[in-house]
Structure 1
């Protein structure tokens, strides 16, 4: 995991990410019907396939240059994106899109600003309130699987 240090040398990225992911994982669903996640591996695989199909129907293109029919399904990567203020949305990106461009597109969509004092990080949410920071110079499909949850995290003052 990549760490960012503030002026006094304290690591600020893990603290911010842990707070955000903890809030996201503990958030209650708005849906009236809450389905219990199965523990049986076969049923769990079926459950994940169904959730991914639902995501594919609701996701919108992450790149404004794409339309809902411009890319074949095999070339799309569907993700749930969450930002620090709690906003979340389903998007799809072309699999060959570089993660840095995905971060820029998401920052524009959620109207997030960066400056010399702060920046943004794109991370993949994993179990136990933890995240993996993505490499901005690599394609998104090399770092994320279809249906994963991404987190856009503001990073404090640069050292």
Structure 2
């Protein structure tokens, strides 16, 4: 299961992207597809955590106690038994929750979290050996996520809520 530290690293990498998106001058080139999706995912997960009364993690900041850290981790990544499971040809089993803020963000961005989990796990692990159907699903869902992410970031920028 990803830890608070994983989230902090992701936030450290993406925080400048959110600020760039909010402050971008018209001549600034747009974010690439990967950065656009990551920035929107951080924005969505931050809003989800905030709605639960939790403080989204920030680089260099740790929760004051381990209980707070556990609450943030549980809210972000989900709890209990992982609902999504895929066994790779190597025998390695990959699992993911459907009840955390990250899962909600993926559902929002990709439109179908279960299909995205299956396609992305397969393609990311098998690369060009992934079945054609999974590669096609990956491309379609990724394109959907990029379009959705651009809309999310544009809306947040117009409302002034990207920080």
- Length-normalised TM-score, structure 2: 0.31
Report the TM-score, using the length of structure 1 for normalisation: 0.32
Greater helix share, 1 or 2? Answer: 2
Greater fraction of residues in strand: 1
